Amino acid sequence: MITWRALMQPHRIVLMALFIGMIIWCAVALRWDWIPQYAPLAIQGLWRTIWILVVTTVLGFLLAIPLGLAQAVGPWYLSAPARIFCTVIRGTPLLLQIWLLYYGLGSLFPQIPWIRGSELWPYLRQAWPYAVLALTLSYAGYEGEVMRGAFSGVNKGQLEAANAFGMPRFTMFRRIWLPQAIRNVLPTLGGETILQLKATPLVATITVVEIYSVSSRVRSDTFIVYEPLLLLAVFYMIIAGIITLMFRRIEKQVPGR
Amino acid sequence: MDLILETLGLAKSAELLSLSPPGWGSNLLRGLANSLQIAFGAFGFGLVIGLFGAYGKLYGGVVMRDLLAIYTTVIRAVPELVLILILYYVGTDLINQASQAMGYGRVEISGVVAGIWVLGIVQGAYSTEVLRGAIQAVPPGQIEAARAFGMPPLMLMRRVTIPAMMSFATPGLANLWLIATKDTALLAIVGFSELTLETRQAAASTRAYFTFFLAAGALYLIVTLCSGAVFARIEKWARRGQRSLRSGER
Amino acid sequence: MKLKKLLIASLATAVLGTNAATAEEVKIGIAAEPYPPFASLDSSGKWVGWEIEVIDAVCTAAKLDCVITPVAWDGIIPSLTGQQIDALMASMSITEERQKTIDFSDPYYNTPAVIVADKSMDISATPESLAGKIIGIQASTIHQAYANAYFGDAAEIRVYQTQDEANQDLVSGRIDATQADSIAMADFVGTDAGACCEIKGPVTNDESILGRGVGAGVRKGDDGLREKLNAGIAAILADGTHAEITSRYFTTSIYSE
């Protein structure tokens, strides 16, 4: 962590003064009169961004566990599909995946008339289920690869010992294997979550109203280009900072090796 | 061949993807060429920034180090999409204003150059970190020895540091190259006709969304797999003479 | 090292490009999306349509060396003010709001805005009839401004980056209606894909939002180019070129004083 003393070096004071000067210049010289009008919308958007981020990382991680396990120790008929899934997800742009899911599936609906009468239809009409699905699969694809390494990295001797004591296989997985694998990936998890945060604005292209799309709305309504984008960048930096701090705290609470 | 396609119900897709009109294949390939050109340029530009950035972070003055830390932190925390929009609009605007202030008139910035410069700046932040780690992994004795023989700094970089760090940097750089190819898709949002935008236009014009998106996905995947193979060879070459790191693993 | 060479080469092209651009080359921005029958990309990679032909005719009449430059619709005004393009001719209506940021030439066509919905839906173009419905509109258009002002209280407005995506979702049933330009929509409902839907009627005109026809946009104060474009538009209207192009695409005139 940066200490107070480290901040108080002369060149840093100059840098900070310059930085504060820049902020004051931005506040005075640029146009911010649109903020009060769009603030409620922005807060809604921010909430939606965080909601999507949390839901997709949790679901994605849950999906990554079987993917990693299948690749690490699974028989070929499980490990091959898992490996192909991870390769395809990691090898193609997320934007393309989102569009394929949303517009590709959308183009099928007119050919399947009964779907509009089904109970699922109110959800299929919304954009967010597609956004959540696409981002979840993407996170699972990247994290599944990481989990593969994490499962292989657990000391085999421990598993053999548990086996020798007659521990049931699932208990062994739950009490010994999984916790250690998660501890192995913990240092990378924060970074992966920030990458996921940076992927969320892409869902604005399929009409999900999150914080990025609010800035587009401001731009299209008022023709102010830079100010909403700058503010948006600041928002993302704050969220990324919070994620970093959160994972640092979690990491501290987990006992080391 | 035709018979096989017919039986699989793929005849229409094959027609849509054929290289000559009315097929859209040539449009997709032109988009792919644009994407690769930008990815290549941005990766190269990023490497140049990264090399200077890494040296600045390791050997630069205190101010330089702090500024570089701000650069890498900001770029890595803000979504590429937002950065692309800011750099795309602000960047060209600033360059034009600067050039007009100096009396040169307007600078033509083609879409490709704008794309390279925007993605290059993003890539630069990541390669700074990759290269910094790689340089740090070079045994300091080797660099000190070269210094002791009075090797000038540039030659030292060319003859000692870069060859020695290659093996440490290659996996990270391979990853960055893949990110570069995938990030070109984001330029579709600013209307640059790379593969993803060409795909969407073809799909929208023909209503064959699945055909075109899957075809584009396959193209991206081919690029990924091919570059994976190329980088594996580069890594093998960069590691020549070193003890294999993999043998101990399994 | 090869990469560096490539980079230097591309930078050199950029710099050399500066010198070459001293001839009177005018970059005309169009929206990088299919917008038939006005502008769309054909399978050989060429832009075709009514508006493309009009651009050619205007430039020939005004003796301008025009280069058609596709840019994203919702960034077309920033591209103009940021000097990536010199003028835009992308079916953009002349509105008071936009005139605060850019200048417009004289109009070269004008058409009403209409509501389109599924044939089976009993919808008319009134706020009462659209209450509780989902209306899809393209971002940064007069239709977005209009829908927000007139329908936004009672209906859900869903924002798309291109009109084509809104049309696609209308076909798939994800939205109930869309508001857009009457000619583009007449073309759409005439295609196989748009056969599900029909034009339900024009919306009540509000010139302060819907504007007074479509004109070419130029940067504020760029009167030289604006005058030239005006002269070109006047010339093709006077010598029958405009009518000739129109007759090849439409059965009725789409220009009125």
Quick check: A212 and A166 in contact, CB under 8 A?
A: no
One DSSP character per residue, B229-249 reads HHHHHHHHHHTTTSPPSSTTT
Co-location of C142 and C206 in the same domain = yes
Co-location of C153 and C221 in the same domain = no
Q: Which helix (H) or strand (E) holds C191?
A: none
CA dist., res. C181 & res. C111, Å (int): 7
Q: How much is the pLDDT for C16?
A: 42
Co-location of C66 and C144 in the same domain = no
CA trace torsion B135, B136, B141, B145 (10° rounding): 30
- pLDDT above 90: percentage of residues in chain B: 54
CA dist., res. C197 & res. A107, Å (int): 15
Residues of C in contact with B45 (CB under 8 A): 7
Distance from CA of C3 to the nearest CA of B (A): 5
Contact: C34, B201; criterion CB under 8 Å = yes
- Specify which of A123-127, A199-203, C22-26, C190-194 reaches the highest per-range mean pLDDT: A199-203
Domains of chain B and any CATH numbers:
28-200+209-238 (1.10.3720.10)
Per the domain annotation, does A218 fall within a domain? no
* Contact residues for A87 (Cβ-Cβ < 8 A; gap 6+): B221, B224, B225
Per the domain annotation, does A151 fall within a domain? yes
Average pLDDT over residues C209-231: 94
Task: Show the tokens assigned to B84.
Answer: 């692309």
Co-location of C122 and C52 in the same domain = no
Q: How much is the pLDDT for B8?
A: 61
Co-location of C118 and C154 in the same domain = yes
Nearest Cα residue to C157 out of C168, C144, C169 = C144
SS (H, E, C) chain A: CCCHHHHCCHHHHHHHHHHHHHHHHHHHHCCCCCHHHHHHHHHHHHHHHHHHHHHHHHHHHHHHHHHHHHHHHCCHHHHHHHHHHHHHHHHCCHHHHHHHHHHHHHHHHHHCHHHHHCCCHHHHHCCHHHHHHHHHHHHHHHHHHHHHHHHHCCCHHHHHHHHHCCCCHHHHHHHHHHHHHHHHHHHHHHHHHHHHHHHHHHHHHHCCCCHHHHHHHHHHHHCCCHHHHHHHHHHHHHHHHHHHHHHHHHHHHCCCC
Q: Which range (A217-226, C52-61, C100-109) has the least confidence? A: A217-226
Task: Show the tokens assigned to C241.
Answer: 């070129």
Per the domain annotation, does C3 fall within a domain? no
Rounded to the nearest 10 degrees, what angle do helices A76-91 and A128-152 cross at?
A: 120
Range of the domain at C191: 113-210
CB atoms under 10 Å from CB of C135, counted, come to 25
Q: How much is the pLDDT for C22?
A: 42
Q: How much is the pLDDT for A2?
A: 64
Co-location of C28 and C91 in the same domain = yes
Q: How much is the pLDDT for B244?
A: 54
Nearest Cα residue to A238 out of A197, A189, A192 = A197
Strand C177-181 relative to strand C134-138: parallel, antiparallel, unpaired? Answer: parallel
CA dist., res. A177 & res. A152, Å (int): 10
Q: Which of residues 201-240 of B touch C (CB under 8 A)?
A: 201-202, 204-205, 207
Contact: C32, B204; criterion CB under 8 Å = no
Sign of the CA dihedral running A200, A206, A207, A208: negative
Q: Would you give the end-to-end CA distance of chain B in angstroms? A: 45
Mean pLDDT of chain A, nearest integer: 91
Residues of C in contact with B92 (CB under 8 A): 82-84
Rounded to the nearest 10 degrees, what angle do helices B162-183 and B111-137 cross at?
A: 140
Tell me, what amino acid is at A156?
Answer: K
Tell me, what amino acid is at B100?
Answer: Q
CA trace torsion C91, C93, C99, C104 (10° rounding): 50
CA dist., res. C73 & res. C68, Å (int): 14
Co-location of C101 and C222 in the same domain = yes
What confidence tier does A1 reach under pLDDT thresholds 50, 70, 90? low
Nearest Cα residue to B176 out of B81, B37, B50 = B50
* Contact residues for B240 (Cβ-Cβ < 8 A; gap 6+): none
Co-location of C81 and C120 in the same domain = no
pLDDT in tens, A136-193: 999 999 999 999 999 988 888 888 899 899 999 889 999 999 998 998 898 889 999 9
Q: How much is the pLDDT for B249?
A: 42
Per the domain annotation, does C232 fall within a domain? yes
Average pLDDT over residues C37-62: 94
The domain total for chain C is 2
Rounded to the nearest 10 degrees, what angle do helices C2-20 and B111-137 cross at?
A: 150
The more confident residue out of C20 and A183 is A183
Quick check: C47 and C40 in contact, CB under 8 A?
A: yes
Task: Show the tokens assigned to C23.
Answer: 């001839």
Co-location of C125 and C205 in the same domain = yes
Rounded to whole angstroms, what are the CA distances from B247 to A77, B167, B243, B244? Answer: 26, 16, 9, 6
Residues of A in contact with B184 (CB under 8 A): 93
Q: How much is the pLDDT for A42?
A: 95
Quick check: B80 and B115 in contact, CB under 8 A?
A: no
Distance from CA of B185 to the nearest CA of C (A): 14
Which pTM was predicted? 0.89
The more confident residue out of B109 and A220 is A220
SS3 content of chain C, % helix, strand, coil (to 5): 40, 25, 35
Residues of A in contact with C196 (CB under 8 A): 110
Average pLDDT over residues C41-59: 94
Quick check: B128 and B76 in contact, CB under 8 A?
A: no
Per the domain annotation, does C218 fall within a domain? yes
Per the domain annotation, does C10 fall within a domain? no
pLDDT in tens, B22-73: 889 999 999 999 999 999 999 999 999 999 999 999 988 888 999 999 999 9
Per the domain annotation, does A128 fall within a domain? yes
The more confident residue out of B88 and B195 is B195
With left for phi above 0 and alpha for psi between -120 and 50, is residue C213 left, alpha or beta?
left
Among A102, A202, A223, the residue to mutate for chain C (most C Cβ within 10 A): A223
A183 in contact with C at a CB cutoff of 8 Å?
no
Per the domain annotation, does C44 fall within a domain? yes
* Contact residues for C13 (Cβ-Cβ < 8 A; gap 6+): B110, B113
**Which chains contact B through at least 3 pairs of Cβ atoms less than 8 Å apart?**
A, C
What are phi and psi for residue B78, nearest 5 degrees? -100, 135
CATH at C168: 3.40.190.10
Contact: A95, B188; criterion CB under 8 Å = yes
Distance from CA of A88 to the nearest CA of B (A): 7
Per the domain annotation, does C123 fall within a domain? yes
Per the domain annotation, does A41 fall within a domain? no
CA dist., res. B85 & res. B94, Å (int): 14
Q: How much is the pLDDT for B3?
A: 62
Co-location of C43 and C106 in the same domain = yes
Quick check: B75 and B125 in contact, CB under 8 A?
A: yes
Mean pLDDT of chain C, nearest integer: 88
Residues of A in contact with B217 (CB under 8 A): 88, 92, 96-97, 100
Tell me, what amino acid is at A179?
Answer: P
Per the domain annotation, does A16 fall within a domain? no
Paired strand residues for C39: C35
What confidence tier does C19 reach under pLDDT thresholds 50, 70, 90? very low
Per the domain annotation, does C11 fall within a domain? no
In the predicted structure, residue B250 carries a pLDDT above the cut 80? no
Determine the 3-state secondary structure of B177 from DSSP: helix
B89 in contact with C at a CB cutoff of 8 Å?
yes
Rounded to whole angstroms, what are the CA distances from B194 to A2, B42, B188, B197? Answer: 43, 14, 7, 6
In the predicted structure, residue B161 carries a pLDDT above the cut 70? yes
Co-location of C189 and C64 in the same domain = no
Per the domain annotation, does A196 fall within a domain? yes
pLDDT in tens, A52-89: 999 999 999 999 999 999 998 889 999 999 999 999 99
B98 in contact with C at a CB cutoff of 8 Å?
no
CA–CA–CA angle C191, C197, C200 (5° rounding) = 120
Range of the domain at A107: 55-207
Per the domain annotation, does A170 fall within a domain? yes
Co-location of C128 and C205 in the same domain = yes
ipTM of the complex: 0.88
The domain total for chain A is 1
CATH at A73: 1.10.3720.10
Per the domain annotation, does A130 fall within a domain? yes
Task: Show the tokens assigned to A214.
Answer: 């609010």
Rounded to whole angstroms, what are the CA distances from A73 to A82, A87, A145, B109, C217? Answer: 12, 18, 13, 52, 62
Residues in chain C: 257
Contact: A100, B217; criterion CB under 8 Å = yes
Nearest Cα residue to A239 out of A191, A197, A195 = A197
Quick check: B114 and B88 in contact, CB under 8 A?
A: yes
Residues in chain A: 257
